[in-house]
Amino acid sequence: GAVVSQHPSRVICKSGTSVKIECRSLDFQATTMFWYRQFPKKSLMLMATSNEGSKATYEQGVEKDKFLINHASLTLSTLTVTSAHPEDSSFYICSAQTWSSPLHFGNGTRLTVT
């Protein structure tokens, strides 16, 4: 079955630094990739939708300059949390999709900002 690899699975960084999270579709070309964040005791919140070769579409309330998304190829999207602060600590998860297929999720990244 389709596999999406997300890396790293856990990262701890200091406040003010930037962190990059990678999302790769290993055995298929993803026309669209999505980035989510999970707040405690809540469901997944869609942050942005990323199409290969074009700018990401951000959801309302998500800061574009803080959460930089790059989708350079059909198999790779990256999320960079810039100038991270403790309130950015969260579980971030990506998903990838081909046309009319279900979403294939990565295993998520637990970010802790100290």
Partner 1 sequence: ILNVEQSPQSLHVQEGDSTNFTCSFPSSNFYALHWYRWETAKSPEALFVMTLNGDEKKKGRISATLNTKEGYSYLYIKGSQPEDSATYLCASYNNNDMRFGAGTRLTVKP
By CB atoms closer than 10 A (0-12, 13-18, 19+), residue 37 is buried
- Indicate the DSSP class of residue 71: E
Positions in the binding site for partner 1 (CB under 8 A): 4, 34, 38, 42-44, 46, 49, 60, 91, 93, 95, 100-108, 110
Question: Cis (ω within 30 of 0) for the bond into 8?
Answer: yes
Question: Closer CB to partner 1, residue 51 or residue 82?
Answer: 51
Question: Closer CB to partner 1, residue 81 or residue 94?
Answer: 94
Smallest separation (angstroms) from partner 1 to the CB of 106: 6
Smallest separation (angstroms) from partner 1 to the CB of 102: 4
75: closest CA among 59, 93, 97, 54? 97
Question: Closer CB to partner 1, residue 3 or residue 72?
Answer: 3
